[in-house]
Structure 1
């Protein structure tokens, strides 16, 4: 019976290796914590203590309390400032709808405004011949000619590009303003819309909030050891998770930011298990690792400042979701990627 019991224990140990074994990777350690294994080996009957065993002194193993350090993390984001970029199909489709609308609307009743064979009527005919359409941003297209059906774009055309439409409309507005201006010597200039690509984009400045305006940016900080992460710190005694997140953000990125927390509940969590648990001599507790719960926040104004941070941080960046994957550890990213929207 003793040999059968030892065999059962050996099989169980092979199917469920020790978490402290250095040959077991971190991912497998987390899996071993979650799984429960069962074997077909029958449970051996408890052995009856013999006289020799009772005569020996009993060795007792102290029971240690184990825990994870609970941390509060902050996913601080800057929302998109402009609309997203259109796909090539969307650009072509919207341009086709513009030309189709030119064919469906009623023509301009010029005789209501201009008497036939008057200077104004002749001037109107000249302008119509030049423009061929009432909407300058759809190019040379006569919606009432016999070739009006041919309203699709040719390969390599740029009329459907937003930049081309913007330049065309600005030039048209400037020509009208100069034609009706009282001062012929002064050239009127129409203000252009702000560019979608900023100087920070051109220079690759990842610390600037004025970049990737069509995407959501997230604040990442770098520890002295070189690891990138979201701002986080241990939750103190009798401190709520939201209060801990607000304190963490102030200690990590300074007070020169106008921010607010979205809700009182975390949007996700990350579990980090130590390869070898360590002892906390003060509380006589075995530390297994860290559990970080992330609170969602928004920045309205200001900028991060690490000059007086209290968490031994040395750098920060404002990154998009795809850029975050290039800086953080793969296991860390696998736990946080579902918290971040694609845009």
Structure 2
């Protein structure tokens, strides 16, 4: 019988390769199952969802040096390749009418009264008159300051600051017995999607008046927090896995709850002063100015 099997393997080399691969797969599966069964029950993870609530810029940020040079070159190209606009055509038409009027007055020896102030039809503005009016209006215009009162007072709870940058909401939230500066988060419950957990956490921690628009159902980031030995034994869990969901702020005021003692609207650079380094590193991966 053994001789017959060996001869069959010689005849069917592909079958022999598959048989060897199958036996290796069986051994690996058995080893994985044994390792899984030997794991302790305290290696489970607590799932949580956090909200990356961002306020978009309200005004355009100032141009950089490179953008300013590019803008100047773009205007030069546009000027060189452009055709006459309606206002320039009107100016040429005014000059032509002025010349025709002067020639007509000269040929008929008509004396000019009041100079050349009214060179076209009565009550009709010329292109030059329109330019003078625009210039007077421009002189009366004063550009508003990019710095608000909230910027001057360094009010980090105000949304009326850093108008040319994105602001992100961070809260001082109690996790267990310790408070941490983090993005608003809540633990996942059964029969609830991770996005629903994020929406519930935002309303519970910051109040129902805050209106926002969540960007999709998929998380934009992930953070894993491994508990200390004491907390592991207390919660029977190895750590916490936090899934971040991006949301756009619409309107409403923040109302802190019992689990939140403080909140701030910060830029990415300012968040480094409040968040823990490893947590901040993960958040910075899915945030942008």
TM tier, smaller: 0.5 to 0.7
1:224-235 matches, cutoff 5 A: 225-235=178-188
Match of 1:120 in 2: 117
Tell me how far 1:112 sits from its aligned partner. 2.6
Quickly say closer, same or farther: Cα 1:321–1:103, change in 2 above 3 A: same
1:215 paired with 2:165, answer: yes
- 1:96-136 per-residue CA deviation (whole Å, 9 max, x = no partner) reads 655676677667424235347652389xxxx98xxxxx989
CA contact (8 A) 1:270 1:291 kept: yes
User: What TM-score, normalized to structure 2?
Assistant: 0.65
Tell me how far 1:194 sits from its aligned partner. 4.4
SS at match of 1:242: helix
Quickly say closer, same or farther: Cα 1:253–1:98, change in 2 above 3 A: same
Tell me how far 1:64 sits from its aligned partner. 3.5
Q: Which runs of 5+ in 2 are unaligned?
A: 1-37, 103-114, 120-126
1:297 paired with 2:247, answer: yes
Match of 2:190 in 1: 237
Tell me how far 1:243 sits from its aligned partner. 1.2
Match of 1:203 in 2: 153
Tell me how far 1:66 sits from its aligned partner. 1.9
1:168-317 matches, cutoff 5 A: 172-173=136-137, 192=142, 194-223=144-173, 225-276=178-229, 278-279=231-232, 286-306=236-256, 309-311=257-259, 313-317=260-264
Q: CA RMSD in A?
A: 3.3
Match of 1:336 in 2: 283
Tell me how far 1:74 sits from its aligned partner. 0.6
Quickly say closer, same or farther: Cα 1:66–1:173, change in 2 above 3 A: same
Tell me how far 1:69 sits from its aligned partner. 1.1
1 CA distance for matches of 2:185 and 2:47?
A: 10
Match of 2:64 in 1: 87
Tell me how far 1:255 sits from its aligned partner. 1.2
Q: Which runs of 5+ in 1 are unaligned?
A: 1-60, 129-133, 137-168, 176-188
CA contact (8 A) 1:80 1:216 kept: yes
With CA pairs under 8 Å and 6+ residues apart, which has the higher RCO, 1 or 2? 2
Quickly say closer, same or farther: Cα 1:120–1:170, change in 2 above 3 A: closer
Tell me how far 1:286 sits from its aligned partner. 2.6
